[in-house]
A and B are shown apart, each in its own frame.
Chain A
Amino acid sequence: MFAYTIRRLTSLVPVLLGMIFIVFMMIRAIPGNPAQLILGQQATERAVAALTKELGLDQPWYTQFWSYFSGLFKGDLGVSLKTNTPISEEIWPYLAATIELSLAAMLIAVVIGINAGIISAWFQNSWFDYCAMVLALIGVSMPIFWLGLMEQYIVAIQWDLLPTTGRDNIRDAVDPITHLYLIDTLMHGRIDQFIEVIKHLILPGFALGTIPMAIIARMTRSSMLEVMRSDYIRTARAKGMKMFWVVYKHSLKNALIPVVTVIGLQIGLLLGGAILTETIFGWPGIGTYIYEAISSRDYPVIQSGILIVAFIFVLINLLVDLLYAAIDPRIKYK
């Protein structure tokens, strides 16, 4: 297992290297001069030329690539062209916001998605099954933009249950320590604000979790149906075991492998793909950070931002692969 992990980690190196290079070249292929965009429409030609030089953008691409690349090995992610701040300093709050939101979305998606899938498989062709699968189909095709605004309008404004936007109650916010607000509020001993933070997570969590929830539900259902037809399930039922335990203990464990794979992939997608949810809910996450960087051609931020998201993505996938063995003892890594 240990050797397997090491081998997998080393195989990541060429993947990440290739990705750094492709991203580097791709963002330079889009037209638009960062200096012009930073200085805005009002800037004079001379100012743009001066800033281009100062940012080193007049250098040939291989010089620029080398200075960025060698910096990475020293643990230097570069400096944002727009804010003039080291990326390693400014990226964490964004990442923390995204992690909190993604975890909330995944919690909602997994709990509801898996259970809906199980019950649908258990009572195949029942009204519950039909409804759940129609809802899942709607879920995967739901425009997040619309869903988010509808949630705000109905749940937050009409029913007055939950807040519309933001991560916390801005009128009485606590000072960030770790930038994970669930933890920060507890560290400040502010239970009221902790609950505020949870309330702020529910609507964006649902908006972001809808698509994964639908995918997970459908995957769980089909995987469960397959397992429930197998011999050992028939045996378990024949020996008089209660149906609930047959489903939740024997079937689920055997059906979980493809579901876990899907969950792993979805978490990865949420990290970078939360941009719509972040826009609607005023959520300062990593998607917004990279998106803004692309609009202003903030090359270092785009490069390092994507690098970090990709790195987390492959780590999660590795984790998923390792989880297989824990779920199903028949799988062994050599």
Chain B
Amino acid sequence: MSTSVGLVFFIGAIGLCVIGITGIVLSRHLFRMVLALAIAEAGANLLLILAGYRWDAVAPIFTGTAGGQAMVDPVPQAMVLTAIVIGVGVQALALSLVIRIKERYGTLDMQEARQCMQDDLDDAGGVTPSRSRERPAGERPIPAPTVLNSTGGQHD
């Protein structure tokens, strides 16, 4: 009984990790990347919990009354607690960065945002754009923010 349930949990944990990591690597939408990160972290945490779990044991809280009963290994649980807290903080930070990117560049698309960033870095350093054939050498023909807003809206 418990081994088959454990197997389901293991497959679930690894599946969550795979879904999350695939999502981070493949998706272009910034918000989806944050969500994929949350899924991947859930998978990793579940895996860590499973590493120290015992089906016949109680929670590792020392109450001082009942002795002799086996307890679940507390180390992975403490670690996962820490990892969850760190994960929530990082996700909040990521979301605030997403908001700022939308404010500054008007897009939630990773590739568009990256292109804007590269252009800005090139402009700041005074490097003339030579690698992109699509980009006109002089001024941009259309005001940049409006164009980016309309394309960014499609991905919402």
A interacts with B:
no
Q: Which residues of A contact B (CB under 8 A)?
A: none
Q: Which residues of B contact A (CB under 8 A)?
A: none
